[in-house]
Amino acid sequence: MCPEISIIVPVYNVEPYINKCIDSILAQTFTDFELILVNDGSPDNCGRICDEYANKDSRIKVIHKENGGLSEARNVGLDTARGNYIGFVDSDDWIEPDMYELLHSISENNKCDIASCTSIIHYNDKVVKNGLHPLTIYNKEEALKTMLIGKLYDEVVWTKLIKRDLIRDIRFPVGLIYEDTAFTYKLIHKAEKVCCIGQAKYHYIKRENSTMDQAIKDIRVDGVIIYDEMYKFIDKNYKGMSQLVTLKLANNAMVLLNLMSIKKDFKKNYKKQYDLVVSILNKYYKETIRLREYPLTVKLLLSAAKVHPSSYKLIINIISRRKAV
């Protein structure tokens, strides 16, 4: 018989954390699951550790593959999964024992296609618990709007339990970060009902060398590219929400432009990426200057940059210094 839940865990270079992650999954009060550990060519002992767990628990399946990144590893897990529901856990995090029992219960009881809880973020110097709200049930339009606004429902996949039927033709974009963002809005579009409960059941470790932190250091423009793609989708299917995507795109673009503009090796290493971000941001000029969240100063500076694209470097530095955005 197929398990009720398939839990997919991509594994790469997390030897100090992997035992705690796997143990927290095996300790779940909801026991009808398969655990798919995808060893993404990890250079440490993670592959051996995963095999040792599989030898002890028949619910565990280990897939060894060459390194291809988080998205590819998750996609391999999805291609293997047999459960009626899909869950994702990052291999350096851990979960509360009743997380999947809670999510499965609210999904089944309320006939929801996606069930979501909240998380506890562990920083180096503090711990932050997100969301303390009662069970809320959305249709897909409400869920999308709530996600785009940034309230209750977030873009990450690891706080969620998702009906497998929703995912059949959706995969994570390989080679890009912001993969959860690119994945989640397409899922919600296919859902009829989405449940969100303010109980923090997922423990997320904020590491300095995480994928997202490394993206900031390396200045990856993937977020702008994905929000550009999302805008086209939202504008076609949910026209009233497109400005919410514009705000996310513009904020992301201006942060990147500022980061790139202050680099000493700007001309050598960042000019091409800079021009790409400018060209995408300029496509949304009319929508951006209509944003209520932006003060007049920012809109005037953006208007000047639209007329003289070469001045963007100076404009963004001025906006950053004024902390207007």
Q: Which residues pair with 10 in a beta bridge?
A: 38
pTM (two decimals)? 0.89
Q: So where are the chain's domains?
A: 5-205, 219-322
pLDDT tens, residue by residue, 163-189: 999 999 999 999 888 899 999 999 999
The count of other CB atoms within 10 Å of the CB of residue 243 is 20
Model pLDDT, residue 314? 61
**CATH superfamily to which 5-205 belongs:** Spore Coat Polysaccharide Biosynthesis Protein SpsA; Chain A (3.90.550.10)
Residue 70 near residue 11, CB atoms below 8 Å: no
CA dist 252 and 316 (Å) reads 12
Q: DSSP letters along 145-200, please?
A: HHHHHTSSS-S-STTEEEEHHHHTT--PPTT-S-HHHHHHHHHHHH-SEEEEEEEE
Tokens of 278: 């400018």
CB 38 within 8 A of CB 73: yes
**CA 48 → CA 19, 66, 232, 313, distances in Å?**
12, 15, 44, 49
Q: Evaluate whether 297 touches 307 at the Cβ level (below 8 Å).
A: no
Q: Encoding tokens for residue 281?
A: 């941001």
Tokens of 227: 């929000």
Each residue's pLDDT tens digit, 203-237: 999 876 554 444 445 688 999 999 999 999 999 99
pLDDT mean for each 10 residues of the chain (325 residues): 96 97 98 98 97 98 97 97 98 97 98 96 91 91 92 86 95 92 95 96 81 56 94 94 92 85 79 88 88 77 69 61 49
- On whether the CB atoms of residues 204 and 93 are closer than 8 A, the answer is yes
